[in-house]
Amino acid sequence: MAEDSSDRGSPIFVVSGGFGASGEQIARTALAQFVGARVPVEVVPHVRSVDQIASAVARARARRGIILHTLVDPELRAALIHKARDANVAVSYTH
C-alpha cells in the first residue's frame, strides 16, 4: 500500500559530494530514536556545482525540508550554507 505523504514529516535532504551513504546512515540512525516517525530521507549525491546546490535548496524549501550535508569542499559548503539561509532552510553538517 502506498504511503500517504500528508502523514509524513518534512523530509531530510542529504547533500553530498560523494554517494551520501554516511549522511543517510546518520540521518536514519537519528530518526530511529523516534518510534513511529515517518520522515523521508532523500539523498542528493555527487554535488559538484553551485547549480546543484541551488536545486537541492529549492527542493528542500518547496517541501519544507531540512538539509544535512557532508560537503568537504569549502566553496560548495559555503554556497550551500549561504543559499539555505537565504531560502530559510535549516542546514546542518556532519562528518
- Contact between residue 46 and residue 37 where contact means Cβ atoms under 8 Å apart: no
Contacts of 4 (CB under 8 A, 6+ apart): none
| pLDDT, tens only, 25-61 | 999 999 999 999 899 999 999 999 999 999 999 999 9
Mean pLDDT of the 16-31 span: 96
- Contact between residue 42 and residue 13 where contact means Cβ atoms under 8 Å apart: yes
Give how far Cα 21 sits from Cα of 26, 34, 49, 58, Å. 9, 21, 19, 22
More confident residue, 2 or 58: 58
pLDDT at 1: 33
Name the pLDDT band for 2 (thresholds 50, 70, 90).
very low
- Contact between residue 73 and residue 19 where contact means Cβ atoms under 8 Å apart: no
In the chain, pLDDT over 90 holds for what percent of residues?
A: 86
pLDDT at position 3 over 70:
no
pLDDT at 95: 66
